[in-house]
Structure 1
Amino acid sequence: MILVTGATGAVGREVAGQLAAAGPVRILARRPERVTVRGPGVDVVAGEYADRASLDRALRGIDAVFLVTNSPTEPDDARVAAAAAAAGVRHLVKLSMMAVEEPDADDFITRLQRGNERTIRQSGVPWTFIRPRAFMSNTLSWATGIRSDGVVRDLYGDAPVACVDPRDVAAVAVAALTGAGHEGQAYAVSGPEVITAREQTAQLSGLLGRPLRFEELPLDRAREALLAKYSQPVAEAFLESAERRRAGAKAAVLPTVEKLTGRPARTFRTWAADHTASFAATVRAG
């Protein structure tokens, strides 16, 4: 059986759903009521990375683990790797990020993920790293502005990025979890095209059938908005990442999705067409 963590997030939810469609799967969740993947073969168990007893229970009888961690302060990768090694898990597939393999990336989040990968390598559990580029679903952060006044506000509207559909990242992870010969591999995953925020805005406009305008945020306003949500190291990491995007460091298109799944990666237009309701929904007061 396979254990999926992060099943309330963009990729983990898709991994759990794709696995559940083919057979039994176990999901570890801090808040099981938030898990939307359900079915006769889905075993949802409550637990936390910091609770070793709950980890041990979740890992009982598990052959492979899909691991998602996002805490900037907690040693969650070390916790799961140690418990997985003790439980005899034969394969750990970790969601990482493409920047870890890029020498010019040295922000806080990238350094953290490099350390997490090192921890997994040293655990003794056979591993695979899934390293995606930025998710297309990040544009959901534009939804409020689009619904309220038809404006997309973001940094660097002309910066190119080969963003990827989380469903395709999940499909690569599922291929690694269920196939043979993936141990010791790191898969960088991009979308099939390079696109800018202005171009994404134009595509959303066409799909929604209404005019949208892109407004480039000044750096100080972007920093202020990020600091309202994140700690300073994390906020600054996002800004450094945006600067790398503006410099063209995130424009490489890779064939990983097609190689591992047998079909092309989805375009942004396809992703957006499947999520127009998120941008078009009417916000009701009260």
Structure 2
Amino acid sequence: MILVTGATGTVGREVVGRLPAGAGVRVMARDPARIAGVAAGVEAVAGDYGDPGSLARVLRGVRTAFLVTARVGGGDDAVFVAAARAAGVRRVVKLSAAAVLDEGAGDLITRWQRESEGLLRGSGMEWTLLRPRAFMSNCLSWAGPVRCEGVVRALYGEAAHACVDPADVARAAVRVLTEEGHAGRAYTLTGPQALSAVEQTRQLGAVLGVALRFEELSPAQARAALAGRYPPAVVEALLDSAQRLKAGAKAGVQDTVGRLTGRPARTFRQWAAAHAASFGALGDAAGPRPPQAGPRASGPGAGTAGTAP
């Protein structure tokens, strides 16, 4: 039995949809009714990291688990690892972040990921770590300003980032979950090239058939935008992450996706084409609306900011 946690999240829902039929799959969410695309034979169950009793029920009979946690600085990893060990789970595949390998990364989010990895490595169970860079899907935060103003706003527009399609992360996860030979391994997952936000804006505009404009945010503008969405410590962690982006720490490209899945990682342009409807109709004859006054942030890192990517 394979358990998928975070089944309603960016990667988890992709994993659920890609696991082979007959694999024996159980998916966990606080509200199982929100789990979409569950194939026949897949068991959807209610579970919560804050309720160890629910985890004991969810983990009964599970051999391999895909672990996704999102509460920065919380104890969700520790609770799950303890419950999995008690339930006799053989292997845990954890979604982590590439930033754990960045020597200059000491922010709250990266420290949390490193500590969580350490808990799993010391658990006595088999483990595999997936460490993606930031997701291309973070660029969906641009959708409103793109539709309304024809503009993308972000920090450090010329800084390159090897962001990755979440679908590629899911494909890698499925291979690791269903094959032997990955115990004790850590895989860094990137896209096939490092692109700046300026270049992403150009490619997105080409896909949409409109002329998009890029406007660079100041750190103060980015902080103000983030403050309405995250606690102060997380805001500072994301801004620190953006500083490392500016310094070039996130431009390295690896071919891990191709080696694990047998197909090249998707390009940003391919991702944009697959999600064009989220940004507006292709080739809209009306074009983007005139820009409105005043800066409004659509994300601090041009689609490259995330939880310590």
For residue 265 of structure 1, what is the aligned residue in structure 2?
265
- Give runs of ≥4 in structure 1 deviating > 6 Å: none
Unaligned runs of 5+ in 1: none
For residue 131 of structure 1, what is the aligned residue in structure 2?
131
1:67 aligns with 2:83: no
Give the Å deviation of 1:37.
2.4
Distance change (3 Å), C-alpha of 1:250 and 1:73: closer
d(CA) in 2 for partners of 1:170, 1:41: 20
More RCO (CA 8 Å, sep 6+): 2
Secondary structure in structure 2 of the residue aligned to 1:230 = coil
Secondary structure in structure 2 of the residue aligned to 1:10 = coil
d(CA) in 2 for partners of 1:246, 1:73: 25
Give the Å deviation of 1:120.
1.0
1:239 aligns with 2:239: yes
Alignment-mate amino acid for residue 183 of structure 2: E
Give the Å deviation of 1:20.
5.0
Give the Å deviation of 1:39.
2.1
For residue 6 of structure 2, what is the aligned residue in structure 1?
6
**1:20-55, Cα deviation, whole Å (9 max, x unpaired):** 556331111012121112221211101101111111
Determine which structure has the larger helix proportion and give its number: 1
d(CA) in 1 for partners of 2:13, 2:134: 17
d(CA) in 2 for partners of 1:157, 1:34: 36
Q: Structure 2 matches for 1:1-286, cutoff 5 A?
A: 1-21=1-21, 23-280=23-280
Give the Å deviation of 1:199.
0.7
Secondary structure in structure 2 of the residue aligned to 1:15 = helix
Identity within the alignment, %: 57
TM-score by length of 2: 0.89
Give the Å deviation of 1:173.
1.1
Contact 1:152-1:213 at 8 Å conserved across structures = yes
d(CA) in 2 for partners of 1:82, 1:140: 35
- RMSD across aligned C-alpha pairs, in angstroms? 1.2
Alignment-mate amino acid for residue 112 of structure 1: W
TM-score by length of 1: 0.96
Give the Å deviation of 1:279.
0.5
